[in-house]
Structure formats: C-alpha cells, structure tokens
Chains A and B, each alone.
Chain A
Amino acid sequence: MKKKVVVVGNGMVGYKFCEKLIAKGGSEQFDIIVFGEEPRPAYDRVHLSAYFGEKTIEELTMAPLEWYSENQIQLHLSDPVTNIDREKKIINTHQGISLNYDYLILATGSAPFVPPIPGVEKDGVFVYRTIEDLDMMKSHAAKSKIGAVIGGGLLGLEAAKALLDLGITDTHVIEFAPRLMPRQIDQAGSDILKSKLSTLGIKIHCNKNTQEIAGGDTLEKMVFADGEILKVDMLVISAGIKPRDELAKIAGLEVGSRGGILVNNKLQTSDESIFAIGECALHEHMIYGLVAPGYEMADIVASEIVGNATKEFTGFDMSTKLKLIGVDVASFGNAFAEEPDCQTIIYENKTKGVYKRVNISNDNKYLLGGILVGDAEQYNMLLQTVNNKLPIPADPEDLILGSRGGESGGESGVMSLPDEALICSCEAITKGQICHEVIENGNDTVDTLKKSTKACTGCGGCTPMVKDLIQGILKSQGKVVRNVLCEHFEYTRQELLSLVKIKALKTYDDVLEDLGHGDGCETCKPAVASILASLWNENVLEKGRLTAQDSNDRFLANIQRGGTYSVVPRIPGGEITPEKLIVIGEVAQKYGLYTKITGGQRIDMFGAHVGDLPAIWEQLIEAGFESGQAYGKSLRTVKSCVGTTWCRFGVQDAVSFAIEVENRYKGLRSPHKLKSAVSGCIRECAEAQSKDFGIIATEKGWNLYVCGNGGSKPRHAELLATDVSSEMCLKLIDRFLMFYIKTAEPLQRTAPWLDKMEGGLAYLKSVVIDDVLGLNAQFEADMDALVDTYKCEWKEAVETPEIRKRFVHFVNAPEEKDPTVKFEPLREQIKAEDWNAVVK
C-alpha cells in the first residue's frame, strides 16, 4: 500500500508543494490528500489586486480542479483540519473526516494581523488577503467616498491601490512608523515614494497612531493619538501578518514566541514526520512573507520525502521589486548596510521622484545591496551583480546612473551573466536553463518559456530580464528580431519611408513590386499609403492608390454601423459663420442625416449613403467648406478657446492662432491621427495638454506641449518649449511633426512614440531645439513642401469623373442604394439599426 502525504492548506505554497511532488514522481510512492479551508482551489494571491481589474478568478487560479484529479490528488475544499493526533498519526477535519498520514505538510500560511484598536469589529473595516475579503470590499466600496488603510507597508500600499481601483478617490494611508515600507526602504526613499504617491491622490500620514475606530454599527471616523480625527466610510487594516500556527499549537508542536511553526533546515517541525512550509514556518527567527522562499521550501520538502534530498533551506534573499500604484520600488541584497561597513552612493531627483542608493564594499570591488524608488529598471541587473559577485565598474555610480542612449546596458548585461545566475527566483530557473530552452527547444517567446520552464509564472518580476535574454540569445545566433511591417515587407516603417523616398516610388504597386513580395494585405497597404501621402501629398485616390487605402480613405468618409458614412467638413479652430451653419443644416435636412457636435469642435453628419457623398460634398464645397479629413490618419482638429477676443482672462488670441495652425497642417498624413488645441491662458479651457501638440498662451508668447492624448490611455502632454513666438512655435511643430512622421511605427501615436524613444523628451528636445541631428532645416523644408501642395481631396473627387463614379454601392445599378441599410428613430433624428439585433 502507498504511503499517505496529507497537505494542510491549499494556498500558493501548498499548491506548489503538490506540483513539485508530482514532478518528482511522488504519485507513485504516495497517496496525496489536500485539505483547504478556502472554498476554491489555490489562486495567485500575489496578484490578488488584479481581481479588481483585468483578471478573473479563473485566470488567477493556479491550476483548475481537473489538474488535481488528473494527478490523483484528493482535494477537500472548505474543510479545514482541526486536530492532529501525533501519537496515532491521524488528522481530523471540520467536516468530520479522520485520516491517518505518514507525512503531514503544514502550509497554513498567515492571517492579517489586526491590532487591538477599539472598534475594529465594526462594519466597513476589512482585511486584505482572500477573494472573499475582496468581494466584501467591493460591495461596501459602492457606497463609500473616503477610504483609509492602516499600515504603510507593501500590503498596505497595495490595499490603497485597491481602494483607488474601487473608485474611492479620497484614500488615506496611516502609518505608525516614521516612514513607508520600513522593511524595504530608508527614510529618503520613503520621502520620494510619499511625494510620488501624493501626486496620485493618496494622502499619506506617517507617525500616526490610531486610537479608536468610532461610529455606530458601521465605522464613521478614526481618532488618532494626537487628537486628530479623520472621517472615513471604509477602512482596510494591513498592519502585518500573523503566521497561522493555531493547529500546530493544538498538536503540541513547538512554535515561536511571536508566532510561527519552528522548523529546522529540512523544514521539519519538532515532530520529524510533520513539515511546515510557506508563511507559517519560522526558520532561524524569520517568517518569510514572500512567495519565492515559500516555493523553495516546497521544493526542498518534496525532494526530502521522495528520498532525493539535495539541499537544505538556509535562508533566502528577500530582495524585491514591486510596482506600487505605478511607482517602482525595489530593494536588494543588503539594502540597509551603512558606512563605515560600506560606501554608499545616493542619487536623488526630487522633481522626477527618483531615489537610488547602492552600497559598495569598502574595497570598491563588490555591490552589497541597495534601494531604488521611482525607477527600478536596473533592478534585475543590480541583483544579479550582488548575487553573482560580478565585478562592478570603476566608477560605481555608473551602476545607477548608467548611460542613457547608446548601447542598451540591460541587454549586453544579461548576456554577460554566468550560466548559474538565477533568473527566475520563484521557480529557481537559471540563465543556463533558459538558454537551453531557447536554443535547443526553440522556445523563444515568454509565453512558450512559461509553458516549458514555468519561468515568469510566480511574481513575474523576472519577465523583463527573460525578454532581454531571449533577444540577446537570438541576436547572438544571428537572428535579428525586428519590427517589420508584415509578411510582405521585411522593413520597419522608418526604413521603408527612406527607401520609398530615395527610389521616388509613388504608388503602392510600385512599392510592393520594388521592395516587397506577395500581394500585400490590410496591414501594409494603409501603412504604405500613409508613407506615400506623407512624402508626396498626391491625391490618395489617383493612380491605383485607391485600393491601397483603408476603406475610410477610399471613400473619404468614416464608415459607420450599417455601412453608411459620416461627413465632417473642416471648421478650423471651431470658428464658423451663421451662413455656414445654415448650409450644414440644409445639407443634413436634404439627405436625412443625423447631426452631432464632435469632441473636436466641429459638426458630424451621420447616415450618408455612399452614393450621396459626392453630391453632399459638392454642396458643402460650394459654400466654402473643405474636407475635414476625419477619415484619415492625419490632422483632425485644432480646438481653441476664445482667448483675448472675448474672454476676460485671455492673454493671446487663441482662435486666430488655432486657425493658422489648423490651416497649416490640414491634410497632413501621418502614422496615426493628430489632434491639437490652443488655449488663451493657463486656465487651459481648450485642453491643449491632452493633444499630440498643444499650445497654451503666456504673457510673452506660447508654451508648446507635445505627445499627449485622450483615448483609452490618456496621457498628459510634455512641455517642449516656453514663451516662444508664433513663428517659432510653428517651426518647432514643423520639426516635431516631420520627425514623428519619419520615425514612428505604423499606427503609433505620438505618446507611445516618445515612450519608445531612447533618451525620451530630453532627446526629442535635443533634436527639434538644439538640432543635434542637423535635420531641422530639412524638416521645415519638407513641411513647407507639403503645405504648398495641399489640395482638398473632396474638391478633387467631385470634380474628377473617374474618381466620382466610384462612389456607388452597386456598380451594375448605380442609382440604387443598399436596401439593407436601415435606420431607427432617435429623439427627432435617426440612428443606425442595432447590429446585434439584425439578421439579414
């Protein structure tokens, strides 16, 4: 008969133990029985907060129930073990099971520590550990406005983020100690973190001792020792963890005076057939509150009981890197070492919110440890430098300052590590193992490596390093990983643009013939069409370019639900005469169009049949309108406020300048759409800072902001230049736009373009202001050429019979409209028929 292994606790570490035991062939020797107190199989607690955001329970689950049955593991959920009879080697459970064991594994984890503050039992007070906790928080948050967290450690800040995610914008963190994350970072690091978090709207109170949680059945306020009072609707307590050793105590196992089940280097408790692993285990006075050490313990015990023990547990590196509410925080090695035991180098940039500290051995040879706040890009390399005792540069400050631009240090860095270097510490995967997988088994993406090695599946902190490693290996094999357009072109957009220019190619077919292969597709066609338009500015519908355009460009209008189009004439700066307004009204009436004001201060007319488009435009052009290019990847609108012409605060004439800017760049084709705005003073009514380029009036001229956007990931634009004249402002925009058009990826807006740029804003400034590339004169000349060749596409289309005749639905019955187009009434106007309700 097989021996029995009973596992108490189905958390992250208990699960990992099962996985390791199976991998080591344990199911042949043992029956494995697992008892879990929670109602669901083990899930990824580290990413618990993602449950409020992008992840579902299924995605967080470590392994589905089928996994347990496939591996003959008996899993009892919602059934905690309540007693252990060590004499008879029998356990009893809450649901009345009693079972004997040969080995008993305690993986009971920990519970949040709740300090004995009067009022902690009130409604609206939560802890943050399980899915159930989160569900309860979710429902309470719906009726809460102000939230607080007691505890400014790692978990407390994580909980504060959760409150923000739950829509509680007024969130406070109360920390008893004088600084945040006292276990990971020092005072200076904490100050930087504090100011960064404050800008995100989290109010941090250090040195604050909570005396009472007051209110009726539900909490209403917190009272502090210094007499201050904070009104709150919900409170999360995250004041540390308390190992769950209650079962061990009942069984008479030795436990630490401050909690935790005492274990030796084999993770054995005071009873040699009982082991404790994970957050419940107390090893050498240490409780390890992270997954990586827990996984290591699981591995050691699994090896031990299958009779294949190779190593012992001798402590674990507690280095960590986290992203707390979007702020990087990391500490590694001996973070708190101080002079005279070492030399410390500190870099601090308060405006950027960056703090870095490294501790160097006195002989200047080794890195001992350090702290990073605000920018932890170098974390993985620094940790490797500590762990592998790698030599450090002669100027140790290069470790944290690095060299921006030039050869990327990260990549050559990973490749220089020894094969034994531990890359994924959760799963104990070395560089050598990953190289083997990539080279021998061809697993050269993070996803395939996750499957084959489990690297990156624990805390995920090693993912960037694994990516660098894959790139490095492929590069060293001579495989170049490049961002080529698609299967038809082996070039990046930037390369293609230069080639098309040098070879003076003017149509898609010529470009494909000369530089590509195959027949093209919906990715390269619009990308090349955009390049051609940016370079030559010839009508997009002529010379066979028609069918290389995306549908919107092909019909010079935006396709909408039901297959009709919307029509948007240009209204520069949002300024329009009553006469023109009347024409829009007349056109809309005549063709039965739905009208709406757009977000860009113009008027959109929806529901136009493709066959009506030329006549509609004929009438609009007659009245002096031009195409608004709402259909193109091109300049959309330049919004404006009235500025000095009417507004009592205005300091410059924002409308006139907006009109000038819009008329200059109208029709400009670019990798993605471009939006702009001009505000007449710092009150910023035109929202210029959310635009690709935005202009705000100052007493002396204009401030120019670039690379902002609205959309799904809003971005504030960054300040490029201050107090410039109108003339200079246009020059800067010329250069900025041409640089973007020439170097961006297809469909990359200006914000991600800047993000990807080596050297970031500083580099952009050096190009368009200091002219380090010597290209500014060229950029300006190129832009002038485009401005000079501007023509209204719609004017050309209605006047050219060849183009005009393409605007029909049935080429064999040009007068007929698409009979499947249907509208429904909507408040005195129309809307497209709901396409989910349509069966044609």
Chain B
Amino acid sequence: MIHLYELFHAMMKPMKNMNNTETMTSWILACRVEDIPENGGACVLLDGEQIAIYNFKKRGEWYATQNLCPHKQQMALSRGMIGSMGEDPKVACPFHKKTFSLKSGACLSGDDYEIKTYQVKVEGNEVFVAF
C-alpha cells in the first residue's frame, strides 16, 4: 500500500524544483494533526530528510526542526521531551538531555550547537512544513 502522504509528497517534488529560488518557500504536506502526540514530537520523512514536528498544545503552537541531534549525530530529537526555559520553547534530546530552542534552534544547555528550524502551518487536519 502506498501511503497517502508519500504520494502527495511525490507530487510536491517537481513543484519545489520548479520554484528553485531562495525566497520562495513551498509548503509541503507533512502529516495529519493526530500523527503528532500532544505536547510532544514525531518524525516525518520529507524529500529524504528527517524532520521532527512538535505539537506544543500547551501553547497552541507547532514547531519543526531537524531530527538529528548535533551532539552525537543521533536521529532522536523527535523523541525528546518538550518544554520551556523562561519563555523559550525547547526540546531535550533523549540521549544526553542537551536542549535546543524550538524557535531559534540555539543550544540552550551551553554548547555551541545549532539546529535547523522550519515553519509549520496547520490547515484543518493537515500539517505543512515550509521546506
């Protein structure tokens, strides 16, 4: 069975290649709302890349980052706990609990790492990532 999103994803690809300019963001359908646990994250595969998407229900916000933890190169951030430091929303890697801002991607636990962040929008039941 071909998964619905892979199909959709495949359709989006040429579009993205067509609009290959830097300023242009294309919204890619990533998953359904219920695929991401409330106040937590899950991973999607978009164009061969692993993206972690977080449903921060407590704040009514959605975030997306790279899934790779830069510390020991582990595909793990989507499995981390999310929360806040002051006002800043963050995720903690399950391996060694390094934390990263979901907004800026900066490492909040004192290292020099930075992770990529992506815009997310939700329309009805569908979650899109700006890619």
Asked if A673 is at the interface of the complex by the 8 Å CB criterion, the answer is: no
In the complex, A549→B31 CA distance in Å?
23
Asked if A256 is at the interface of the complex by the 8 Å CB criterion, the answer is: no
Asked if B23 is at the interface of the complex by the 8 Å CB criterion, the answer is: no
Instruction: Check A812 against B40 for contact (C-beta < 8 Å).
Output: no
Asked if A440 is at the interface of the complex by the 8 Å CB criterion, the answer is: no
In the complex, A488→B85 CA distance in Å?
9
Query: Among the listed A518, A551, A836, which residue makes an inter-chain contact with B94, where contact means beta carbons less than 8 Å apart?
Result: A551
In the complex, A546→B36 CA distance in Å?
11
Instruction: Check A812 against B3 for contact (C-beta < 8 Å).
Output: yes
Which A residues between 783 and 840 are near B, CB-CB below 8 angstroms?
806, 808-816, 818, 820-821, 835-836, 838-840
- Enumerate chain B residues within 8 angstroms of A546, measured Cβ to Cβ: 37, 40
**Which residue in chain B gives the minimum CB-CB distance to A541?**
B37
- Enumerate chain B residues within 8 angstroms of A551, measured Cβ to Cβ: 76, 79-81, 94
| Interface 9-mer from A209-217, A455-463, A519-527, A724-732 | A519-527
Which B residues between 38 and 90 are near A, CB-CB below 8 angstroms?
38-40, 42-46, 50, 56, 58-59, 68, 72-76, 79-86, 89-90
In the complex, A812→B127 CA distance in Å?
11
- Enumerate chain A residues within 8 angstroms of B72, measured Cβ to Cβ: 561, 835-836
Asked if A554 is at the interface of the complex by the 8 Å CB criterion, the answer is: yes
Asked if A119 is at the interface of the complex by the 8 Å CB criterion, the answer is: no
Asked if B113 is at the interface of the complex by the 8 Å CB criterion, the answer is: no
B88 CB to nearest A CB, Å = 10
What size tier do the contact residues of chain A reach? 35 or more
Asked if A625 is at the interface of the complex by the 8 Å CB criterion, the answer is: no
**Which residue in chain B gives the minimum CB-CB distance to A840?**
B73
Query: How many contacting A-B pairs (Cβ < 8 A)?
Result: 120
B94 CB to nearest A CB, Å = 3
In the complex, A549→B81 CA distance in Å?
8
In the complex, A518→B86 CA distance in Å?
7
Asked if A574 is at the interface of the complex by the 8 Å CB criterion, the answer is: no
Instruction: Check A840 against B68 for contact (C-beta < 8 Å).
Output: yes
Instruction: Check B44 against A519 for contact (C-beta < 8 Å).
Output: no
Instruction: Check A814 against B3 for contact (C-beta < 8 Å).
Output: yes
Instruction: Check A563 against B92 for contact (C-beta < 8 Å).
Output: no
In the complex, A811→B6 CA distance in Å?
11
In the complex, A812→B6 CA distance in Å?
7
In the complex, A813→B80 CA distance in Å?
20
Asked if B5 is at the interface of the complex by the 8 Å CB criterion, the answer is: yes
Asked if A487 is at the interface of the complex by the 8 Å CB criterion, the answer is: yes
Instruction: Check A521 against B90 for contact (C-beta < 8 Å).
Output: yes
- Enumerate chain A residues within 8 angstroms of B9, measured Cβ to Cβ: 812
B126 CB to nearest A CB, Å = 11
Chain A 274-307: CB-based contact to B (< 8 A → 1; otherwise 0): 0000000000000000000000000000000000
Asked if B13 is at the interface of the complex by the 8 Å CB criterion, the answer is: no
What size tier do the contact residues of chain B reach? 35 or more
Asked if B117 is at the interface of the complex by the 8 Å CB criterion, the answer is: no
Asked if A364 is at the interface of the complex by the 8 Å CB criterion, the answer is: no
Instruction: Check A818 against B6 for contact (C-beta < 8 Å).
Output: no
Asked if B97 is at the interface of the complex by the 8 Å CB criterion, the answer is: yes
Chain A 548-567: CB-based contact to B (< 8 A → 1; otherwise 0): 11111011000101110000
In the complex, A563→B59 CA distance in Å?
29
Known contacts A521-B81, A551-B94, A559-B76; is A810 also within 8 Å of B44 by CB? Answer: yes
Chain A 475-519: CB-based contact to B (< 8 A → 1; otherwise 0): 000000000000110000000000000000000010010000011
Chain A 655-697: CB-based contact to B (< 8 A → 1; otherwise 0): 0000000000000000000000000000000000000000000
Asked if A270 is at the interface of the complex by the 8 Å CB criterion, the answer is: no
Known contacts A812-B9, A818-B75; is A520 also within 8 Å of B42 by CB? Answer: no
**Which residue in chain A gives the minimum CB-CB distance to B36?**
A811
- Enumerate chain B residues within 8 angstroms of A522, measured Cβ to Cβ: 80-81, 83, 92, 97, 99
A551, A552, A561, A818 interface centre (most CB from chain B within 10 Å): A551
Query: Among the listed B40, B80, B84, B95, which residue makes an inter-chain contact with A518, where contact means beta carbons less than 8 Å apart?
Result: B84
A526 CB to nearest B CB, Å = 8
In the complex, A547→B6 CA distance in Å?
26
- Enumerate chain A residues within 8 angstroms of B120, measured Cβ to Cβ: none
In the complex, A816→B6 CA distance in Å?
11
Instruction: Check B92 against A810 for contact (C-beta < 8 Å).
Output: no
Instruction: Check B82 against A547 for contact (C-beta < 8 Å).
Output: yes
Known contacts A813-B3, A818-B75; is A547 also within 8 Å of B40 by CB? Answer: yes
Query: Among the listed A519, A526, A552, A808, which residue makes an inter-chain contact with B89, where contact means beta carbons less than 8 Å apart?
Result: A519
Asked if B114 is at the interface of the complex by the 8 Å CB criterion, the answer is: no
Asked if A464 is at the interface of the complex by the 8 Å CB criterion, the answer is: no
In the complex, A596→B72 CA distance in Å?
24
**Which residue in chain B gives the minimum CB-CB distance to A809?**
B43
B41 CB to nearest A CB, Å = 8
- Enumerate chain B residues within 8 angstroms of A488, measured Cβ to Cβ: 83-84
Query: Among the listed B6, B59, B74, B92, which residue makes an inter-chain contact with A813, where contact means beta carbons less than 8 Å apart?
Result: B6
Instruction: Check B84 against A519 for contact (C-beta < 8 Å).
Output: yes
Known contacts A547-B81, A806-B37, A816-B45; is A811 also within 8 Å of B31 by CB? Answer: yes
Asked if A544 is at the interface of the complex by the 8 Å CB criterion, the answer is: yes
A821 CB to nearest B CB, Å = 8
Instruction: Check A520 against B84 for contact (C-beta < 8 Å).
Output: yes
In the complex, A806→B43 CA distance in Å?
11
In the complex, A487→B87 CA distance in Å?
11
A563 CB to nearest B CB, Å = 5
In the complex, A839→B72 CA distance in Å?
9
In the complex, A522→B109 CA distance in Å?
12
Instruction: Check A812 against B45 for contact (C-beta < 8 Å).
Output: yes
Asked if B107 is at the interface of the complex by the 8 Å CB criterion, the answer is: no
Instruction: Check A550 against B81 for contact (C-beta < 8 Å).
Output: yes
A838 CB to nearest B CB, Å = 5
In the complex, A74→B31 CA distance in Å?
70
Query: Among the listed A544, A561, A818, A839, which residue makes an inter-chain contact with B38, where contact means beta carbons less than 8 Å apart?
Result: A544
- Enumerate chain A residues within 8 angstroms of B43, measured Cβ to Cβ: 809-811
B40, B72, B90 interface centre (most CB from chain A within 10 Å): B40
Instruction: Check B5 against A812 for contact (C-beta < 8 Å).
Output: yes
Which A residues between 417 and 458 are near B, CB-CB below 8 angstroms?
none
Query: Among the listed B3, B40, B59, B74, which residue makes an inter-chain contact with A835, where contact means beta carbons less than 8 Å apart?
Result: B74
In the complex, A525→B99 CA distance in Å?
14
Instruction: Check B58 against A521 for contact (C-beta < 8 Å).
Output: no
B68, B73, B81 interface centre (most CB from chain A within 10 Å): B81
In the complex, A711→B86 CA distance in Å?
34
Query: Among the listed B3, B38, B59, which residue makes an inter-chain contact with A547, where contact means beta carbons less than 8 Å apart?
Result: B38
Which A residues between 190 and 235 are near B, CB-CB below 8 angstroms?
none
In the complex, A17→B74 CA distance in Å?
53
- Enumerate chain B residues within 8 angstroms of A563, measured Cβ to Cβ: 74-76
Which B residues between 92 and 106 are near A, CB-CB below 8 angstroms?
92, 94-95, 97, 99
Instruction: Check A525 against B56 for contact (C-beta < 8 Å).
Output: no
- Enumerate chain A residues within 8 angstroms of B94, measured Cβ to Cβ: 550-552, 559
In the complex, A44→B3 CA distance in Å?
68
Instruction: Check B44 against A525 for contact (C-beta < 8 Å).
Output: no
A218 CB to nearest B CB, Å = 47
In the complex, A814→B43 CA distance in Å?
10
**Which residue in chain B gives the minimum CB-CB distance to A554?**
B79
- Enumerate chain A residues within 8 angstroms of B37, measured Cβ to Cβ: 546-547, 806
In the complex, A818→B44 CA distance in Å?
10
A439 CB to nearest B CB, Å = 28
A553 CB to nearest B CB, Å = 10
**Which residue in chain A gives the minimum CB-CB distance to B58?**
A519
In the complex, A562→B95 CA distance in Å?
10
B45 CB to nearest A CB, Å = 4
- Enumerate chain B residues within 8 angstroms of A839, measured Cβ to Cβ: 73
- What would be 14 A-B contacts, judged by CB atoms less than 8 Å apart? A519-B59, A521-B81, A552-B94, A554-B40, A559-B94, A561-B74, A562-B74, A563-B74, A809-B43, A811-B42, A812-B46, A813-B45, A835-B74, A840-B73
Given A563-B75, A806-B42, A813-B44, 15 more contacts at CB 8 Å?
A487-B85, A518-B83, A519-B56, A521-B85, A522-B92, A546-B37, A550-B94, A555-B79, A561-B74, A810-B43, A810-B44, A812-B3, A812-B5, A812-B30, A840-B68
7 closest Cβ pairs, A-B complex: A547-B40, A551-B94, A521-B83, A522-B92, A519-B84, A811-B35, A812-B5
